[in-house]
Structure 1
Amino acid sequence: MADTSPLDVLEKRITDLESLVFGNADKDALYPKGKPPKVQCIESMLVLQNKIMAAVAGKKKLTSVYQNLPALRRYMDPAYTDEMGLSEEAKAEVIFAEEDYLRRVASQLQTVKEHDESLSSEHVKSVPTLSGKLQELSQIHIQQQRLSNPAKGRVICYMSAIAQMNTHTAAPVFGVRVVLPSAALRQIGAAKG
């Protein structure tokens, strides 16, 4: 190791870097040794910069955005948002203030973990497949409710009629005491006679 010079180490690192960048491609085809490159990198970047500046020229909003780029980069930095946030003491105070809530959530989570076997059983796993059948049953239930509403109204009407008759006669009707007014009794008697 002592025989290798720093230049050899640097050359090895450059070779490794080139193999990572170019992979299996032939880098000498794109960048042949001994020949100057056709377009210098700095020149191409300068051309691009000039094109961008020409496109932006006269547009005040874009120039203000370019002027604010360093501030935008700073605001987008996660370290800056950490600095802007609460201090450690404030974070601790928030956690202590929510201690009861956190304990409740932790106990609920523990309960869910205890019932994990029940929740992961085949019966629970098959619930999505039964949703179609549940939909059909709910439709049948709604139809039956619609059909029973008129009958329910009739039963209520019948019961109120029986209750009214009970207030006017002492004789039970169908096991229910019905009281008829005296005029109604006279009409019934006249109809029989």
Structure 2
Amino acid sequence: MYNIEKEIQEILDPLIFNASHELKGHCLFEHVISDRDLLLKLKWMRKAQGNEIVLASRFFSAEQARKAIYMLLNKNKMAIEQWRKTLDVPYLEIQGNFREAVGEGIAKNTDFSNKIPLHRLRVVLVKGDSIGRAFYIKTAYPTNSITDNDVIYEAMDDWKKKETKLKRSRKS
């Protein structure tokens, strides 16, 4: 039988995290990145349609990422235990909001120099692996909460106003 509680606790250990999760997933590799890589990530994302939010995000640090993931999974321990008992569901997605920002992001159609604090975390778990673990983390990343959406839409409106003003000044 698996010790879910122990595996969740081990998320805080950088060595165990890298050996158990990062080798099979891409949480830290893809989501603890530089400003340049964040811009490149956004560049390759699809275009925003209308008022849709298209967002590239990152954690502030690897340590902070592990702590936020630990907190979210620990809070959802019962759901993880129930999921492990099912045979036909290989993935489990867990999301949760935090009081403090867990990361930051930039959205299409905004000023990219203004990074938006993000207060929601999404974690995708995959059942087991070859070393007898109950799960591994396929990915985890900061995403926008409903409250963050207000800030993002405001930034999109500000950007649209700046673009309109710039176009008018070019015509003059």
TM-score normalised per structure 2: 0.19
**Where is the strand percentage greater, Structure 1 or Structure 2?**
2
TM-score normalised per structure 1: 0.18
**Where is the helix percentage greater, Structure 1 or Structure 2?**
1
Which of the pair has more CA radius of gyration? 1
User: Does 1 or 2 have the higher relative contact order (CA < 8 Å, sep 6+)?
Assistant: 2
